[in-house]
Amino acid sequence: RREAAAMGVLLLLGGHETTANMITMGTLLLLQHPEQLARVREADDPKVIFSAVEELLRYLSVVHLGRRRTALEDIEIAGRTIRAGEGVILLGELANRDPAVFPDPDRLDIGRDARHHQAFGVGTHHCLGQPLARMELQVVYPALFRRVPTLRLATDLADIPFKYDAVIYGVYELPVTW
């Protein structure tokens, strides 16, 4: 029972909570960047939507859970030695803002090649649900903004309650109108 309950929680958090928060945060971000939103709304080319989703995943990084690893051998990173057996915590959200990988990383650019972001982890520790999450996001953003072209925030950004106290970043609610 305990194992089944743990698996249920994992599926709920990994399969629903992350995608729901990504949809909401991506909507909020695009509403704040009307020129980028227009490109998503008007895109006929699926490559534009693919690129937009990858950039949103990079820019937002809704999962704020450091990936803990143990060094298998001595390595040097940025002038510091990490000895074999020492633990490290890898923060994907920081990797997604690395200017050596993503020029001008604090700027949203849905035309950017952001395929190498760390939103889903990497290697043997990548998210198994990433193909489904990507597909859901590629469907929802164009559908939402085409069907409700006048969608806008119904409140000031400062009044939106953000989930600063959660592993999966998002908002508690996103008041919109059209």
CATH number, domain at 96?
1.10.630.10
Predicted confidence band at 64 (pLDDT cuts at 50, 70, 90)?
A: confident
Q: What is the reported pTM?
A: 0.86
Predicted confidence band at 26 (pLDDT cuts at 50, 70, 90)?
A: very high
Residues 145-171 have pLDDT tens digits of 999 999 999 999 999 999 988 888 899
22-31, 77-86, 91-100, range with the lowest pLDDT: 91-100
Domain tally, the chain: 1
Identify which has the larger pLDDT, 47 or 126: 47
| Percentage with pLDDT > 70 across the chain | 100
Predicted confidence band at 49 (pLDDT cuts at 50, 70, 90)?
A: very high
C-beta of residue 110 within 8 angstroms of C-beta of residue 57? no
- In the chain, where does DSSP find H-type helix? 2-12, 18-32, 34-42, 46-60, 92-95, 130-147
Question: Above 80 in pLDDT, residue 16?
Answer: yes
Tally of CB atoms within 10 A around 20: 14
What mean pLDDT value characterizes the chain?
A: 91
C-beta of residue 119 within 8 angstroms of C-beta of residue 57? yes
The pLDDT of residue 128: 80
The pLDDT of residue 127: 80
Residues spanned by the domain of 146: 2-177
Question: Above 90 in pLDDT, residue 48?
Answer: yes
The span from the CA of 153 to the CA of 85, in Å, is 49
Reference 39, options 112, 142, 133; nearest CA is: 142
The pLDDT of residue 101: 93
Question: Above 90 in pLDDT, residue 73?
Answer: yes
Question: Above 80 in pLDDT, residue 11?
Answer: no
The span from the CA of 71 to the CA of 48, in Å, is 39
Residues 6+ positions from 46 with CB-CB distance below 8 Å: 138
Predicted confidence band at 55 (pLDDT cuts at 50, 70, 90)?
A: very high
* CA distances to 99, 101, 127, 173 from 121, in Å: 19, 16, 6, 27
> Which residue type sits at 128?
L
Where do we find the tokens 């227009």? 38
